[in-house]
Amino acid sequence: MDTDPVWVLKGGTNLYCLIPGARHTQDLDLYRQTSPTGHRDAADALISAMHRMQVGPYTFEVRNPRKESVSGTIENIQLTVIVRFGTTEFSRFNIDVSGDLEAPTVTESLSVTRTDPLEVPFARQHFTVLSYPIENQLADKTCAMYEIHGTRGSTRYRDLYDIGLIALELEVDAEKLRTALEQQSRIRALTLPPRLILPSDEWPAGYKKFVGTLHQPRPELRTVESALTTAEALLNSVLSLDNPIT
pLDDT reading at 1 higher than 70: no
pTM: 0.89
Strands 7-10 and 74-85: unpaired
What amino acid occupies position 79? L
User: What angle is formed at CA 74 by the lines to CA 193 and CA 19, rounded to 5 degrees?
Assistant: 70
CB 141 within 8 A of CB 162: yes
How do the domains of the chain map onto residue ranges?
A: 7-131, 134-239
Euclidean distance between CA atoms 229 and 34, whole angstroms: 38
Q: What is the pLDDT of residue 21?
A: 80
Q: What is the pLDDT of residue 243?
A: 62
Query: What confidence tens digit (pLDDT) does each residue in 30-71 have?
Result: 999 999 999 999 999 999 999 999 999 999 999 987 766 665
pLDDT band at 2 (very low <50, low <70, confident <90, very high): low
Query: What confidence tens digit (pLDDT) does each residue in 66-100 have?
Result: 766 665 556 889 999 999 999 999 999 999 999 98
Euclidean distance between CA atoms 151 and 174, whole angstroms: 32
Q: Please give the mean pLDDT across all residues of the chain.
A: 91
